[in-house]
Structure 1
Amino acid sequence: MRTILPILLGVLLATNAWASQQTTTVKVNWQNPEKYSDIRPSSGTKKAYQKRVISAFDKIWADFAAKLPAGHNLLVTVKDLDLAGDVNPMYRIDHSDIRVVKEIYFPRMTFDYQLLDSNGQVILAEQDVKIKDMGFMNSSPIGLGSTEFVYEKQMLKNWFQKTLTPKLTKP
Protein backbone atom coordinates (compact mmCIF):
# COMPACT_ATOMS: atom_id res chain seq x y z
CA MET A 1 0.00 0.00 0.00
CA ARG A 2 2.87 2.36 0.79
CA THR A 3 4.38 1.90 -2.68
CA ILE A 4 1.07 2.39 -4.51
CA LEU A 5 0.33 5.75 -2.88
CA PRO A 6 3.42 7.54 -4.28
CA ILE A 7 2.76 6.05 -7.72
CA LEU A 8 -0.87 7.21 -7.69
CA LEU A 9 0.21 10.63 -6.48
CA GLY A 10 2.78 10.85 -9.28
CA VAL A 11 0.23 9.85 -11.92
CA LEU A 12 -2.25 12.40 -10.56
CA LEU A 13 0.34 15.20 -10.61
CA ALA A 14 1.47 14.29 -14.13
CA THR A 15 -2.11 14.21 -15.38
CA ASN A 16 -2.84 17.55 -13.75
CA ALA A 17 0.31 19.12 -15.26
CA TRP A 18 -0.60 17.78 -18.72
CA ALA A 19 -4.17 19.12 -18.43
CA SER A 20 -2.94 22.56 -17.39
CA GLN A 21 -0.64 22.66 -20.44
CA GLN A 22 -3.61 21.97 -22.71
CA THR A 23 -5.57 25.03 -21.53
CA THR A 24 -6.63 27.25 -24.39
CA THR A 25 -6.62 30.98 -23.71
CA VAL A 26 -6.95 34.34 -25.35
CA LYS A 27 -4.98 37.03 -23.53
CA VAL A 28 -5.74 40.64 -24.37
CA ASN A 29 -3.53 43.61 -23.54
CA TRP A 30 -5.17 47.03 -23.89
CA GLN A 31 -2.42 49.48 -24.86
CA ASN A 32 -3.18 53.07 -23.80
CA PRO A 33 -7.00 52.88 -24.03
CA GLU A 34 -7.29 56.49 -22.93
CA LYS A 35 -5.82 57.47 -26.33
CA TYR A 36 -8.18 55.36 -28.46
CA SER A 37 -10.10 57.04 -31.26
CA ASP A 38 -13.49 56.43 -29.69
CA ILE A 39 -14.35 55.02 -26.32
CA ARG A 40 -16.47 58.00 -25.36
CA PRO A 41 -19.49 57.52 -23.15
CA SER A 42 -22.79 59.10 -23.94
CA SER A 43 -23.30 59.54 -20.20
CA GLY A 44 -21.30 58.77 -17.10
CA THR A 45 -17.57 59.01 -16.62
CA LYS A 46 -15.06 58.18 -19.30
CA LYS A 47 -13.11 55.90 -16.94
CA ALA A 48 -16.17 53.82 -16.01
CA TYR A 49 -17.26 53.51 -19.64
CA GLN A 50 -13.74 52.52 -20.67
CA LYS A 51 -13.80 49.73 -18.05
CA ARG A 52 -17.18 48.54 -19.33
CA VAL A 53 -15.99 48.51 -22.96
CA ILE A 54 -12.80 46.61 -22.08
CA SER A 55 -14.74 44.08 -20.01
CA ALA A 56 -17.25 43.50 -22.85
CA PHE A 57 -14.49 43.11 -25.43
CA ASP A 58 -12.52 40.77 -23.16
CA LYS A 59 -15.60 38.52 -23.19
CA ILE A 60 -15.82 38.74 -26.99
CA TRP A 61 -12.16 37.74 -27.33
CA ALA A 62 -12.61 34.99 -24.70
CA ASP A 63 -15.39 33.45 -26.83
CA PHE A 64 -12.75 32.81 -29.48
CA ALA A 65 -10.81 30.57 -27.06
CA ALA A 66 -13.52 27.91 -27.48
CA LYS A 67 -12.83 27.89 -31.22
CA LEU A 68 -9.09 27.28 -30.80
CA PRO A 69 -7.64 23.75 -30.64
CA ALA A 70 -6.67 22.49 -27.19
CA GLY A 71 -3.50 24.07 -25.90
CA HIS A 72 -3.43 26.90 -28.45
CA ASN A 73 -3.19 30.48 -27.25
CA LEU A 74 -4.02 33.79 -28.86
CA LEU A 75 -2.15 36.84 -27.60
CA VAL A 76 -3.65 40.18 -28.62
CA THR A 77 -2.53 43.77 -28.04
CA VAL A 78 -5.28 46.24 -28.84
CA LYS A 79 -3.78 49.54 -30.02
CA ASP A 80 -6.86 51.48 -31.10
CA LEU A 81 -10.62 51.16 -31.05
CA ASP A 82 -13.27 53.24 -32.75
CA LEU A 83 -16.75 52.10 -31.80
CA ALA A 84 -19.65 52.16 -34.23
CA GLY A 85 -21.45 55.46 -34.07
CA ASP A 86 -20.31 58.80 -32.74
CA VAL A 87 -20.94 60.69 -29.52
CA ASN A 88 -21.60 64.28 -30.48
CA PRO A 89 -22.58 67.04 -28.03
CA MET A 90 -24.93 68.41 -30.69
CA TYR A 91 -27.19 65.41 -30.05
CA ARG A 92 -28.38 65.57 -26.46
CA ILE A 93 -31.29 64.29 -24.45
CA ASP A 94 -31.81 65.57 -20.92
CA HIS A 95 -28.25 66.93 -20.64
CA SER A 96 -26.73 63.64 -21.78
CA ASP A 97 -24.95 63.06 -25.06
CA ILE A 98 -26.17 60.18 -27.18
CA ARG A 99 -24.30 57.84 -29.52
CA VAL A 100 -25.57 58.35 -33.04
CA VAL A 101 -25.11 55.28 -35.23
CA LYS A 102 -24.91 56.06 -38.94
CA GLU A 103 -23.16 54.31 -41.83
CA ILE A 104 -20.38 56.92 -41.85
CA TYR A 105 -19.41 56.03 -38.27
CA PHE A 106 -18.30 52.44 -38.87
CA PRO A 107 -16.38 50.35 -36.28
CA ARG A 108 -12.61 50.03 -36.55
CA MET A 109 -9.87 48.39 -34.54
CA THR A 110 -6.07 48.15 -34.69
CA PHE A 111 -4.20 45.36 -32.92
CA ASP A 112 -1.24 42.97 -32.94
CA TYR A 113 -1.67 39.25 -32.43
CA GLN A 114 0.20 35.99 -32.09
CA LEU A 115 -1.37 32.56 -32.42
CA LEU A 116 0.64 29.93 -30.53
CA ASP A 117 0.32 26.17 -30.81
CA SER A 118 0.28 23.79 -27.84
CA ASN A 119 4.10 23.82 -27.78
CA GLY A 120 4.23 27.61 -27.57
CA GLN A 121 5.45 27.95 -31.17
CA VAL A 122 4.12 30.89 -33.19
CA ILE A 123 1.78 29.65 -35.93
CA LEU A 124 0.67 33.05 -37.13
CA ALA A 125 1.53 36.59 -36.09
CA GLU A 126 0.85 40.03 -37.43
CA GLN A 127 1.37 43.59 -36.26
CA ASP A 128 -0.79 46.65 -36.81
CA VAL A 129 -3.77 44.69 -38.09
CA LYS A 130 -6.41 47.20 -39.09
CA ILE A 131 -9.94 45.88 -39.38
CA LYS A 132 -13.11 47.79 -40.14
CA ASP A 133 -16.65 47.07 -41.24
CA MET A 134 -17.86 49.82 -43.53
CA GLY A 135 -21.05 47.88 -44.27
CA PHE A 136 -21.77 47.15 -40.62
CA MET A 137 -25.36 48.36 -40.73
CA ASN A 138 -26.20 45.94 -43.54
CA SER A 139 -24.13 42.93 -42.48
CA SER A 140 -24.47 42.67 -38.70
CA PRO A 141 -27.17 40.47 -37.18
CA ILE A 142 -28.90 43.34 -35.42
CA GLY A 143 -32.25 42.49 -33.92
CA LEU A 144 -31.15 39.01 -32.85
CA GLY A 145 -30.69 40.15 -29.28
CA SER A 146 -29.69 43.17 -27.33
CA THR A 147 -25.99 42.42 -27.38
CA GLU A 148 -23.91 45.46 -26.60
CA PHE A 149 -21.23 46.20 -29.21
CA VAL A 150 -22.91 43.85 -31.70
CA TYR A 151 -21.29 45.61 -34.67
CA GLU A 152 -17.80 45.30 -33.24
CA LYS A 153 -18.40 41.69 -32.21
CA GLN A 154 -19.47 40.80 -35.75
CA MET A 155 -16.43 42.61 -37.18
CA LEU A 156 -14.08 40.59 -34.93
CA LYS A 157 -15.92 37.35 -35.70
CA ASN A 158 -15.51 38.00 -39.43
CA TRP A 159 -11.79 38.67 -38.97
CA PHE A 160 -11.36 35.50 -36.89
CA GLN A 161 -13.16 33.32 -39.44
CA LYS A 162 -11.29 34.82 -42.39
CA THR A 163 -7.81 34.95 -40.85
CA LEU A 164 -7.43 32.35 -38.12
CA THR A 165 -9.96 29.62 -38.88
CA PRO A 166 -8.22 28.55 -42.13
CA LYS A 167 -4.92 28.18 -40.25
CA LEU A 168 -6.57 26.10 -37.54
CA THR A 169 -8.19 23.63 -39.94
CA LYS A 170 -5.05 22.89 -41.98
CA PRO A 171 -3.07 19.78 -40.94
Structure 2
Amino acid sequence: MRWNLGIAAVLAVIILSPASSHAGVNVRFVNSDRYTDAGSYDTSSASVEAAFRAHLDRLGKRFLAPGQNLNIDIVDIDLAGYQQPLRFAPNNVRIVNGVTLPRIVLRYALIERGRRVRSGEETLTDINYQMNPSARFSGDRYVYEKALLDDWFRRTFSTSRQGF
Protein backbone atom coordinates (compact mmCIF):
# COMPACT_ATOMS: atom_id res chain seq x y z
CA MET A 1 0.00 0.00 0.00
CA ARG A 2 2.81 2.41 0.85
CA TRP A 3 4.47 1.64 -2.45
CA ASN A 4 1.33 2.65 -4.42
CA LEU A 5 1.05 5.87 -2.41
CA GLY A 6 4.69 6.70 -3.19
CA ILE A 7 4.19 6.13 -6.92
CA ALA A 8 1.06 8.29 -6.87
CA ALA A 9 2.99 11.12 -5.18
CA VAL A 10 5.83 10.93 -7.71
CA LEU A 11 3.40 10.91 -10.65
CA ALA A 12 1.55 13.92 -9.22
CA VAL A 13 4.81 15.88 -8.98
CA ILE A 14 5.80 14.91 -12.53
CA ILE A 15 2.42 15.82 -13.98
CA LEU A 16 1.87 19.09 -12.12
CA SER A 17 5.35 20.64 -12.10
CA PRO A 18 5.77 21.26 -15.86
CA ALA A 19 2.48 23.11 -16.01
CA SER A 20 3.62 25.65 -13.45
CA SER A 21 7.15 26.17 -14.75
CA HIS A 22 6.62 26.64 -18.50
CA ALA A 23 5.51 29.86 -20.11
CA GLY A 24 2.40 29.65 -22.21
CA VAL A 25 0.18 31.65 -24.49
CA ASN A 26 -3.57 31.02 -24.56
CA VAL A 27 -5.22 32.56 -27.61
CA ARG A 28 -8.95 33.02 -28.05
CA PHE A 29 -10.49 34.38 -31.23
CA VAL A 30 -13.54 36.44 -30.25
CA ASN A 31 -16.35 36.39 -32.85
CA SER A 32 -13.91 35.52 -35.64
CA ASP A 33 -16.77 35.30 -38.14
CA ARG A 34 -17.18 39.07 -37.73
CA TYR A 35 -13.53 40.01 -38.36
CA THR A 36 -12.86 42.62 -41.02
CA ASP A 37 -11.12 39.96 -43.13
CA ALA A 38 -12.90 36.85 -41.87
CA GLY A 39 -12.11 34.02 -44.23
CA SER A 40 -11.13 36.29 -47.11
CA TYR A 41 -8.15 36.01 -49.46
CA ASP A 42 -9.02 32.38 -50.19
CA THR A 43 -8.32 31.28 -46.64
CA SER A 44 -10.64 29.88 -44.08
CA SER A 45 -10.85 31.55 -40.70
CA ALA A 46 -9.58 28.24 -39.23
CA SER A 47 -6.31 28.49 -41.20
CA VAL A 48 -5.87 32.14 -40.19
CA GLU A 49 -6.45 31.20 -36.54
CA ALA A 50 -4.03 28.27 -36.72
CA ALA A 51 -1.29 30.44 -38.24
CA PHE A 52 -1.71 33.20 -35.65
CA ARG A 53 -1.99 30.73 -32.75
CA ALA A 54 1.25 28.97 -33.76
CA HIS A 55 3.08 32.27 -34.21
CA LEU A 56 1.95 33.62 -30.83
CA ASP A 57 2.98 30.36 -29.19
CA ARG A 58 6.50 30.70 -30.65
CA LEU A 59 6.71 34.30 -29.43
CA GLY A 60 5.58 33.25 -25.96
CA LYS A 61 8.29 30.62 -25.75
CA ARG A 62 10.84 33.20 -26.77
CA PHE A 63 9.84 36.17 -24.62
CA LEU A 64 7.88 34.97 -21.59
CA ALA A 65 9.67 33.87 -18.45
CA PRO A 66 8.99 30.44 -16.94
CA GLY A 67 5.82 30.53 -14.88
CA GLN A 68 4.26 33.34 -16.91
CA ASN A 69 1.07 32.78 -18.89
CA LEU A 70 -0.34 35.20 -21.42
CA ASN A 71 -4.04 35.19 -22.25
CA ILE A 72 -4.82 36.91 -25.55
CA ASP A 73 -8.25 37.65 -27.00
CA ILE A 74 -8.04 38.56 -30.68
CA VAL A 75 -10.93 40.96 -31.25
CA ASP A 76 -10.37 41.83 -34.93
CA ILE A 77 -7.97 41.12 -37.78
CA ASP A 78 -7.72 43.34 -40.84
CA LEU A 79 -5.12 41.88 -43.20
CA ALA A 80 -2.86 44.15 -45.21
CA GLY A 81 -4.13 44.81 -48.67
CA TYR A 82 -7.47 44.17 -50.30
CA GLN A 83 -8.98 41.33 -52.23
CA GLN A 84 -9.01 41.65 -55.99
CA PRO A 85 -11.21 39.03 -57.62
CA LEU A 86 -9.84 37.82 -60.94
CA ARG A 87 -12.26 36.80 -63.61
CA PHE A 88 -10.30 33.89 -65.10
CA ALA A 89 -8.33 32.74 -62.07
CA PRO A 90 -9.46 30.22 -59.47
CA ASN A 91 -8.03 32.29 -56.61
CA ASN A 92 -8.40 35.91 -55.68
CA VAL A 93 -5.32 38.09 -55.47
CA ARG A 94 -4.32 40.13 -52.44
CA ILE A 95 -3.23 43.61 -53.54
CA VAL A 96 -0.97 45.31 -51.01
CA ASN A 97 -0.46 49.06 -51.09
CA GLY A 98 0.39 51.86 -48.69
CA VAL A 99 -3.25 52.68 -47.96
CA THR A 100 -4.55 49.29 -46.82
CA LEU A 101 -2.68 48.79 -43.54
CA PRO A 102 -2.65 45.59 -41.49
CA ARG A 103 -4.47 45.94 -38.17
CA ILE A 104 -4.96 43.60 -35.23
CA VAL A 105 -7.10 44.48 -32.21
CA LEU A 106 -6.46 42.41 -29.10
CA ARG A 107 -6.88 42.25 -25.33
CA TYR A 108 -4.31 40.58 -23.14
CA ALA A 109 -3.52 39.63 -19.56
CA LEU A 110 -0.12 38.48 -18.34
CA ILE A 111 -0.47 36.09 -15.38
CA GLU A 112 2.44 35.25 -13.10
CA ARG A 113 2.07 32.98 -10.05
CA GLY A 114 -1.71 33.24 -10.33
CA ARG A 115 -1.65 37.07 -10.28
CA ARG A 116 -2.42 39.46 -13.12
CA VAL A 117 0.79 41.41 -13.66
CA ARG A 118 -0.13 43.38 -16.76
CA SER A 119 -3.17 43.71 -18.98
CA GLY A 120 -4.61 45.96 -21.62
CA GLU A 121 -6.17 46.38 -25.01
CA GLU A 122 -4.06 47.19 -28.06
CA THR A 123 -4.65 48.10 -31.68
CA LEU A 124 -1.58 47.04 -33.64
CA THR A 125 -0.89 48.71 -36.95
CA ASP A 126 2.11 50.03 -38.88
CA ILE A 127 1.87 52.72 -41.54
CA ASN A 128 5.34 51.71 -42.80
CA TYR A 129 4.64 47.99 -42.99
CA GLN A 130 5.88 47.72 -46.59
CA MET A 131 9.31 48.98 -45.54
CA ASN A 132 10.01 45.82 -43.52
CA PRO A 133 13.07 44.27 -45.22
CA SER A 134 12.40 40.75 -43.94
CA ALA A 135 8.90 40.80 -45.42
CA ARG A 136 10.08 41.71 -48.89
CA PHE A 137 11.06 38.19 -49.95
CA SER A 138 8.96 36.20 -47.53
CA GLY A 139 6.56 33.61 -48.83
CA ASP A 140 4.49 33.78 -45.65
CA ARG A 141 0.89 34.71 -46.36
CA TYR A 142 0.59 36.72 -43.12
CA VAL A 143 4.07 38.24 -42.99
CA TYR A 144 2.88 41.80 -42.32
CA GLU A 145 0.48 40.80 -39.56
CA LYS A 146 3.08 38.55 -37.91
CA ALA A 147 5.54 41.46 -37.99
CA LEU A 148 2.99 43.51 -36.02
CA LEU A 149 2.81 40.75 -33.41
CA ASP A 150 6.62 40.42 -33.30
CA ASP A 151 7.03 44.13 -32.66
CA TRP A 152 4.28 44.19 -30.01
CA PHE A 153 5.76 41.22 -28.17
CA ARG A 154 9.23 42.75 -28.27
CA ARG A 155 7.99 46.10 -26.90
CA THR A 156 5.61 44.67 -24.31
CA PHE A 157 7.21 41.46 -22.99
CA SER A 158 10.89 41.67 -23.83
CA THR A 159 13.21 40.87 -20.95
CA SER A 160 16.94 41.21 -20.73
CA ARG A 161 17.29 37.47 -21.27
CA GLN A 162 16.51 37.57 -24.99
CA GLY A 163 16.63 39.99 -27.86
CA PHE A 164 14.97 39.77 -31.22
- Which residue type is aligned with residue 33 of structure 1? S
1:121 and 2:115 matched:
yes
DSSP 3-state at the match of 1:37: coil
1:64 aligned to 2:59?
Answer: yes
Q: How does 1:124-135 map to 2 (within 5 A)?
A: 124-127=118-121, 129-135=122-128
Q: For structure 2, which runs of at least 5 residues remain unmatched after alignment?
A: none
Moved over 6 A (4+): none
Q: Which moved more, 1:106-115 or 1:137-146?
A: 137-146
The 10-residue stretch of structure 1 (160-169 or 106-115) with the greater mean CA deviation from structure 2: 160-169
CA distance in 2, matches of 1:3, 1:96: 66
**For the Cα contact (< 8 Å) 1:75–1:113, is it kept in 2?**
yes
Kept in 2: contact 1:42–1:87 (CA 8 A): yes
Aligned twin of 1:105: 100
Stretch deviating more after TM superposition (54-63 or 3-12): 3-12
Aligned residue for 2:150, secondary structure, equals helix
Equivalent in the alignment of 2:31: 32
Q: 2:74 aligns with which of 59, 73, 78?
A: 78
Shift of 1:9: 4.6
TM-score when normalising by structure 1: 0.81
TM norm structure 2: 0.84
Q: In structure 2, which of residues 22, 45, 50 is the aligned counterpart of residue 55 of structure 1?
A: 50
Superposed CA RMSD: 2.5
1:148 aligns with 2:144: no
Distance 2:79 2:161 in 1: 29
Q: Considering only CA atoms, is the larger Rg found in Structure 1 or Structure 2?
A: 1
8 Å contact kept, 1:140–1:154: no
Read off the aligned partner of 1:156 and give its amino acid letter.
L
| 1:107–1:88 CA distance, 2 compared to 1 (3 A) | same
Unmatched segments (≥5 aa) in structure 1: none
How many aligned residue pairs are there?
A: 161
Task: State the identity %.
Answer: 23
What SS does the aligned partner of 1:131 have? strand
